[in-house]
Amino acid sequence: MLDDQALLQALNSTPVVDGRDMDLWRDDNELDRWAREHGGSGGDEERRWLRVARDALQAVESGKAGESRLHRVLADVRKVPRPGPSGIEWHLEVPPERRLAVELVLAWADVKERMPGRLRPCGNPDCRLFLLDRSRAGTARWCSMKTCGNRLKARRHQARTRETPRPE
């Protein structure tokens, strides 16, 4: 099963670099590498389903419609309990080319349940990354304080100093 880190890697695979939107998963070899690192096999169909799942999760987390694509990813998927030596183990019944995409959606659902309100888009409107707020107060706003946080604070400071009239 995929973890929080794999979920963030997937969600953050479309960064803005030097003002240009990028898609790190557009490169089939890069996506196959990610898939194999997380138990997948790569290939056209697995890549297609991973991109659908990632795009749907990004849309939902950004407040846009993505639920219909999530329904497609999860169509006819079953989680079946099986007794094992350490208790009940849950097994996914899903076509192999869709398994990793379904695990991505399940990792997202797990984070939403365990850490409600903690997965969110970066507060910088020019950024397309997401963060998983692990702070005690739950008030983190930026994917990175060093980049987005400092940039936005500097912009606000500059705007305030421009608006403040100078004494004569």
Which pLDDT does position 121 carry in this prediction? 92
pTM of the model: 0.84
Q: What is the pLDDT of residue 155?
A: 56
Average of per-residue pLDDT across 69-81:
96
pLDDT at 166: 63
CA–CA separation, 7 vs 159, rounded Å?
Answer: 36
Residue 132 lies in a domain: yes
Q: What confidence score (pLDDT) does residue 126 get?
A: 83
Residue span of the structural domain in which 32 resides:
4-163
* N residues, the chain: 168
Over range 19-25, report the average pLDDT.
93
Is 76 inside a domain boundary?
A: yes
The verdict on residue 43 lying in a domain is yes
- What's the structural domain count of the chain? 1
pLDDT of 153 over the 60 cut: no
Q: Is 60 exceeded by the pLDDT of residue 149?
A: no
Which distant-in-sequence residues (6+ apart) come within 8 Å of 159 by Cβ? none
Domain of 145, CATH number, reads 1.10.3300
Residue 164: what pLDDT?
62
Kindly report which listed range (8-12, 27-31, 158-162) carries the lowest average pLDDT score: 158-162
Is 168 inside a domain boundary? no
CB of 92 within 8 A of CB of 33? no
In a domain, 26, yes or no: yes
